[in-house]
Structure 1
């Protein structure tokens, strides 16, 4: 492990959540020479503008539901306080009438995080073990359990109504329709505007003295053939990490979730109001029951996003003679703008059953969102064994974005070495169990999740029709 000091030159490869949070906290901790490299101009931090990373998505969930994993619950709770502070900082800029050098795409007064609440729905008539464990674990955090409202508990429903969000306990009118509805409303949760939040983090990094360079990075040589030396290199490239650091490929796998959006026209006042964050919560359905569905209120432009993660797709390619799963986005050389037909059908079935008023609008867009899953869904942040001066900071496993304001604080502790605390131990370098289950990584190129084996949907499949199959 390379020893660093405040004058050490540190390069971070990747300007997503993990890279930006690390850069920000290194600067906060007094490190004077921190440079972030990314393959794309980061001021186009939206997938619509050509950004590939998961961090450039429309929105991400802020949740505190982690089953028995109280460490993640506690860290998410800490992060939520900083999300509040960031919202207030932008509001203060609005009041002062200045943008203070904000990057394009971000304006004073913009909100980053929306406390829309979150409805955790079971696909069956009873709570699964994960939900039961979540409620137990939340009892250990001050006042967190009392902000959970069980839809089958009349006292909880009454409390929610008195608090002003009773309408979010059953926004799909399941009980009114005589259908099963087993769910818990978390009044502390919600969502963040993802790309906008990264722009804010980048702004804070620049204010703190972090340097920023665009250009595809191969090791420490950019595509302009310039070499960049450093005392420490931190690879935080999300889905591209296993390709750049082959040693980690046994423990991290690049996978895609499926994204579907519906566009609500602003002149449809009824739907516009119904799907506003004030009226519609973030929702998940059957996440631990093989259904893997989630969705959001509409954004300011009327986009309603749905996600499907029941199957985490892989895309294998030959990388230096080794088969590795790599991102296949709308902006890579091997373009992919569609999602598997299985995923599209799952989302359409959910909408038809739970939100039938959206079916006349049809599907607006689909895309794949590429993550990096670890063998146990916990992050991988550590020095690379036998390669002094190199670290990985990855393995977000689809739940890393909420930690943008706080993750780097823990990364700095790992950078500096010494005795590892609870997060250092959780995120340490670890290899898969031989012959065991490793979150699907053991499937490899012959597994059933490979994109090349799927029938892909196209625009002709976007219209609704037929009966629901839920």
Structure 2
């Protein structure tokens, strides 16, 4: 995240300096220790990522589609016609995107190109790779009683992972804050070996 210019959004939990910085930046409270490990004299280590969150890719892509269609954008769907092949780049500035070419070899010029491919977006725009993570695992949904929802809302309970590096045998665990239906998500990640 430092390389992407977002190092200031990361807080090392065991660092007294980062703990003070988190307090100054408004991230105090249970976000940094949602399982109350310090008050029970249990070890606590990790990184609090103030940019972390959960997006249900299908809903996000559908929402983006509705917005662009409402704004009058032209969209293409279907085999060949709706399959991205490559970008049309400006001849003078290779980083400037001028449109796309679809698998049917049609050129579609545009003032603005939006990539909304959910977890697959980084395959089209490799620079997104460090910002997107798609995971597979077994999910458990827990209905939280109304009187306990204040402990698990996103403003105090961030997404978390334990023992999930992609390299550890057996995978790890993770969780997400309450959704609108007061469901708490827990997931067991599985590491597959060849």
> When the two structures are superposed, what TM-score results if normalisation uses the length of structure 1?
0.27
Question: CA–CA distance in 2 between the matches of 1:210 and 1:260?
Answer: 36
The match for 1:25 is none
The match for 2:153 is 276
Deviation at 1:146, TM superposition (A): 2.5
What pairs with 1:45-444 in structure 2 (closer than 5 Å)? 138-142=1-5, 144-167=6-29, 168-204=31-67, 206=69, 207-212=72-77, 231=104, 257-265=137-145, 268-269=146-147, 271-288=148-165, 289-290=168-169, 291-312=171-192, 440=194
Question: CA–CA distance in 2 between the matches of 1:258 and 1:278?
Answer: 25
SS at match of 1:185: strand
Mapped contact 1:259–1:305 kept (Cα < 8 A): yes
Deviation at 1:205, TM superposition (A): 5.3
Superposed CA deviations along residues 206-264 of structure 1, whole A, max 9, x for unmatched, are 44222457xxx8x99xxxxxxxxx7259xx9x9xxxxxxxxxxxxxxxx9521111111
The match for 2:114 is none
Deviation at 1:202, TM superposition (A): 2.5
Mapped contact 1:295–1:305 kept (Cα < 8 A): yes
Query: In the superposition, relative to structure 1, how do residues 205 and 163 fare at CA in structure 2: closer, same or farther (>3 Å)?
Result: closer
Question: CA–CA distance in 2 between the matches of 1:264 and 1:186?
Answer: 24
Question: CA–CA distance in 1 between the matches of 2:41 and 2:77?
Answer: 56
Question: CA–CA distance in 2 between the matches of 1:146 and 1:183?
Answer: 15
Deviation at 1:286, TM superposition (A): 0.6
Mapped contact 1:257–1:311 kept (Cα < 8 A): no
User: Structure with the greater relative contact order (CA < 8 A, sep ≥ 6): 1 or 2?
Assistant: 1
The match for 1:76 is none
SS at match of 2:47: strand
RMSD of aligned Cα (Å): 2.9
Superposed CA deviations along residues 162-207 of structure 1, whole A, max 9, x for unmatched, are 2221221111111111212111111122222434212112224544
SS at match of 2:40: coil
Superposed CA deviations along residues 118-140 of structure 1, whole A, max 9, x for unmatched, are xxxxxxxxxxxxxxxxxxxx333
Question: CA–CA distance in 2 between the matches of 1:151 and 1:280?
Answer: 15
The match for 1:83 is none
Question: CA–CA distance in 2 between the matches of 1:190 and 1:256?
Answer: 16
Question: CA–CA distance in 1 between the matches of 2:176 and 2:2?
Answer: 26
Superposed CA deviations along residues 76-102 of structure 1, whole A, max 9, x for unmatched, are xxxxxxxxxxxxxxxxxxxxxxxxxxx
The match for 1:323 is none
Question: CA–CA distance in 1 between the matches of 2:191 and 2:4?
Answer: 32
Question: CA–CA distance in 2 between the matches of 1:285 and 1:151?
Answer: 14
Question: CA–CA distance in 1 between the matches of 2:136 and 2:15?
Answer: 37
Deviation at 1:294, TM superposition (A): 1.4
Query: In the superposition, relative to structure 1, how do residues 160 and 256 fare at CA in structure 2: closer, same or farther (>3 Å)?
Result: closer
Deviation at 1:282, TM superposition (A): 0.7
Where structure 2 has 5 or more consecutive residues not aligned to the other structure, the ranges are: 82-102, 107-116, 120-134
